[in-house]
Amino acid sequence: MTTPHATPRATTEGTVYTVTGGDWDEVVESAVKSDDERIIVNMGPQHPSTHGVLRLILEIDGETVTEARCGIGYLHTGIEKNLEFRNWTQGTTFVTRMDYLTPFFNETAYCLGVEKLLGIEDQIPDRATVLRVLLMELNRISSHLVCIATGGMELGATTIMIYGFRDRELVLDLFELITGLRMNHAFVRPGGLAQDLPPGAVDQLREFVKTMKKNLPEYDKLATGNPIFKARMQDVGYLDLTGCMALGATGPILRSAGLPHDLRKTDPYCGYETYEFDVPTADSCDAYGRFLIRLEEMRQSLRIIEQCIDRLAPGPVMVADKKIAWPAQLALGPDGLGNSLDHIKKIMGTSMEALIHHFKLVTEGFRVPAGQTYTAVESPKGELGVHVVSDGGTRPYRVHFRDPSFTNLQAMAAMCEGGQVADVIVAVASIDPVMGGVDR
Amino acid sequence: MSDEQNSNGVPAPRDETGEVIGVRKGMFGANNGGDTSGYGGLVRTVTLPGATPRPYGGWFDEVADELEGALEEQDLLPENAIEKTVVDRGELTFHIAREHLPTVARTLRDDPALRFELCTGVSGVHFLGDKGRELHAVYHLRSITHGRLIRLEVSAPDSDPHVPSLVAVYPTNDWHERETYDFFGLIFDGHPALTRIMMPDDWQGFPQRKDYPLGGIAVEYKGAQIPAPDQRRSYS
């Protein structure tokens, strides 16, 4: 099919399409004719301040941005399509790579959806749910740290970048300790978790909370009252409540417009209604307000993490139903994490039924009753919704992620038009888009 | 699943007929006569949950009543606009006739008793076996005022893949509708600029349709050829 942006023409080598961008001659010509200072600037897709492969198309008049548009899709990897060709458990391996800065939110949202379709929400062990909350809140801290760090770096504030990545490293160390991986964990599985906490993890978690309580005030000292920082961020990236609602912006953007909408409070999941924490808001509708909200949310996350540690009671981390629970057990081998030798000895040596069960569940997977469900979690960026459809088979029929970055990025034009070119950077940074999530 | 209860404890019996979207035969995905397991004769119909009779339970009835009342006020017969209502797994779904979608969405957004202010976008689903209504567009609407979430489902046949755009009601659907068009070929009439958003502008076909292959190549592993994911055995 052809579109006005892709005109085909026949050559000896076959049909050649001229896609968007090929008409620059005409654009330049008409710009010359119009006899003014308007220039169209392409920022990205490879630009250090566009958070990945985001292409910004700015029409500028002097230093003023008169029109701003986004070009996305450069990081589209077809995850949603791929999911339809793997079993339900393998799905976590894919979804964790969507918004790669918030893997645990992707995994948990997906697994909550699958569990709802299976009708086993009530059978998920408490320990698994508490650990999911714990990991999600740790992840919220690491995601906000990246946002603040890279946002600062884009303003030229390299110290805050170093601080941010220093503290994020502490979170990633914990992730590595608990899941074995720094990113792309696939640790949350339908039915529970892949594994229990390793020995010593609770002590490390307590140590982390202590360190972060010491480190978080440094951001306040460095940035919150800093006149340069404030001059760059205040009244920049303005989007009021009406704009947020119309454009579907959620997360810190919506809360910076003064609405305390947080799914953890308004539509709780994973038992968030039983935790004590506050939802910070600002009334400035600008990038500075979003910065303050992210800082405060990290403090609130630390509160939740402390409550999680206190609640951790010994118990299983996977649903008891052996028709769903992953049969393989992991053990720490000399070459890293691998299959438990005891488990292999049992299925290969003593129990043929166990071997059949293992083989069936791993190669074929479990069947999920037909139907559809929508589950949403409050990711650091906003409402992360997952629409899961099953046709009763062993593979997802359709999984759609409503990624908050994708929706929030639409607000870029509203935030940037009429502002300065330099403020585009600040506005985009305050949206905190991650292209892995936007493009999927 | 017939004894399943919805969020408020009122049993929501399901229509036994449901919505048949396909029939599966055999068990191990071996459809070329190679299945000697004895399961080859197994026939299983794939049925989505069917219409739910009243009462729906909890606030579901309130929303349904308000919506029907508000539609009647606009001289629109609710039974013309709402094809069926499904309550499944504690979630409320209205199946809407596509020509009435903008009216219903605007009513849901503006009526003070409904106030579904936030649309979380549109998700396409392609049911090859649902003849005459293959393409489904699924919208989730959230009411921040009342703390509710409902689902609208609209369907269109493959031969006429048109659904009215909701951008005028929910501007946030701009990119979402472009994405669904890009992947499913659903044309949202009235969208200000319905172009591809993820795939290159000159891409042929609509990748997330079920008849569009995944692609991929066979990979050698320990001497054996492992077929591409869409060529592997799929347990039906």
On the question of a cis peptide bond just before residue B55, with omega within 30 degrees of 0, the verdict is yes
Q: Which residues of A touch B176 (CB under 8 A)?
A: 402, 407
Please answer whether residues B97 and B85 qualify as being in contact, where contact means their C-beta atoms are separated by less than 8 angstroms.
no
Per-residue confidence (pLDDT) for residue B6, from 0 to 100: 42
Q: Please say if the pLDDT value at position B150 is more than 90.
A: yes
Nearest-CA distance from B75 to chain A in Å?
Answer: 27
Give the confidence band of B3 by pLDDT, cuts at 50, 70, 90: very low
Q: Which residues of A touch B202 (CB under 8 A)?
A: 2-3, 6, 8, 17, 19
Of A246, A259, A391, the CB nearest to B46: A391
Domain residue limits, chain B = 19-24+48-231
| Residue-wise pLDDT tens digits, A291-349 | 999 999 999 999 999 999 999 889 888 888 888 888 777 766 655 567 777 788 888 88
Per-residue confidence (pLDDT) for residue B31, from 0 to 100: 62
- For B200-212, what is the mean pLDDT? 89
Mutate to test the interface with A, among B155, B175, B194, B211 (most CBs of A within 10 A): B175
- For residue B168, give the chain A residue with the closest CA: A246
Of the ranges A45-54, A138-147, A347-356, which one carries the lowest mean pLDDT score?
A45-54
Per-residue confidence (pLDDT) for residue B32, from 0 to 100: 62
Give the confidence band of A102 by pLDDT, cuts at 50, 70, 90: very high
On the question of a cis peptide bond just before residue A45, with omega within 30 degrees of 0, the verdict is yes
- For residue B228, give the chain A residue with the closest CA: A85
Nearest-CA distance from B99 to chain A in Å?
Answer: 23
Q: How far apart are the first and last CA of chain B?
A: 20
Per-residue confidence (pLDDT) for residue A22, from 0 to 100: 57
Per-residue confidence (pLDDT) for residue A31, from 0 to 100: 65
Per-residue tokens: A342: 């005891």
CATH number given to B19-24+48-231? 3.30.460.80
- Would you call B175 and A410 a contact, using CB atoms and an 8 Å cutoff? yes
Per-residue tokens: A246: 């119309």
Mutate to test the interface with B, among A362, A387, A394 (most CBs of B within 10 A): A387
Per-residue confidence (pLDDT) for residue B166, from 0 to 100: 92
Q: Where are the beta strands (DSSP E) in A161-311?
A: 188-189, 192-193
Q: Which residue has the higher pLDDT, B215 or B150?
A: B150
| Residue-wise pLDDT tens digits, B181-199 | 999 999 999 999 898 899 9
Nearest-CA distance from B24 to chain A in Å?
Answer: 10
Q: How many A/B residue pairs have CB atoms within 8 Å?
A: 150
Of A76, A370, A393, the CB nearest to B48: A370
Q: Please say if the pLDDT value at position B234 is more than 90.
A: no
Of B47, B89, B125, the CB nearest to A117: B89
Cβ neighbours of residue A171 closer than 8 Å, sequence gap 6 or more: A138, A139, A141, A142, A145, A208
**Measured CA distances, A351 to A220, A284, A354, A360, A409 (Å):** 60, 65, 5, 14, 54
Of B1, B22, B202, the CB nearest to A6: B202
What is the interface pTM, i.e. ipTM, of the complex? 0.86
Per-residue confidence (pLDDT) for residue B165, from 0 to 100: 92
Per-residue confidence (pLDDT) for residue A129, from 0 to 100: 93
- Would you call A2 and B117 a contact, using CB atoms and an 8 Å cutoff? no
Per-residue confidence (pLDDT) for residue B1, from 0 to 100: 39
| Residue-wise pLDDT tens digits, A405-426 | 999 999 999 998 888 888 888 8
Most confident of A135-144, A227-236, A391-400: A135-144
Q: Please say if the pLDDT value at position A225 is more than 50.
A: yes
Q: Is A19 exposed, middle or buried (0-12, 13-18, 19+ CB in 10 A)?
A: middle
Q: Which residues of B touch A245 (CB under 8 A)?
A: 117-118
- Would you call A72 and B214 a contact, using CB atoms and an 8 Å cutoff? no
| Residue-wise pLDDT tens digits, A44-62 | 776 666 677 888 888 888 8
| Residue-wise pLDDT tens digits, B67-89 | 888 888 888 888 888 888 888 88
- Would you call A407 and B176 a contact, using CB atoms and an 8 Å cutoff? yes
- For B25-49, what is the mean pLDDT? 71
CA distance A223 to A228: 9
Per-residue confidence (pLDDT) for residue B129, from 0 to 100: 79
- What is the residue type of A190? P
Per-residue tokens: B220: 């050698």
Q: Please say if the pLDDT value at position A197 is more than 80.
A: yes
Q: What is the pTM of this model?
A: 0.87
Cβ neighbours of residue B227 closer than 8 Å, sequence gap 6 or more: B218
Q: Which residues of A touch B152 (CB under 8 A)?
A: none
Nearest alpha carbon to residue A374 among A145, A163, A116, A12: A116
Give the confidence band of B25 by pLDDT, cuts at 50, 70, 90: confident
Average pLDDT score, chain A: 87
